[in-house]
Amino acid sequence: MKEVKRYSDHFKRRVVLGCESLEYYRRKYKIGGSMTLSRWMDKFAWEKEASMAIKKEGENEELAKLKAEVELLRRELEEERLRRQAYELMIKIAEEEFNIPIEKKSGVKQSKR
């Protein structure tokens, strides 16, 4: 007579929720019968789905945070571009109005005092 193996719910859950394929676990632990794993899946699959849903929800939250951060950084970059343009225009107007060089010209040596 064939010996009936009993598996704990903990073991069944580990197999169903495991990273490897069910066939891998069936061979590794010599789990007989094709219906055995199907019954385990029926019993514990909701946990796997719930686990995956929670993981996906976490990924969606992380993605939303990253998108918000990217948008914030884009706005800050645009503000800095506008600020730079304003400073350049202000310097140009000041140089023209007061006829003094404000911007440091590259290659020009500083006078020694």
Q: Where are the domains of the chain?
A: 9-98
Kindly give, in sequence order, each residue whose CB lies less than 8 Å from that of residue 37, ignoring residues fewer than 6 positions away.
15, 22, 25, 26, 31
What residue type is assigned to position 30 of the chain?
K
pTM: 0.42
17-36 residue pLDDT tens:
666 677 777 777 777 776 77
3-15 residue pLDDT tens:
667 777 777 777 7
CA distances from 49 to 6, 25, 45, 46, 81 (A): 25, 19, 6, 5, 47
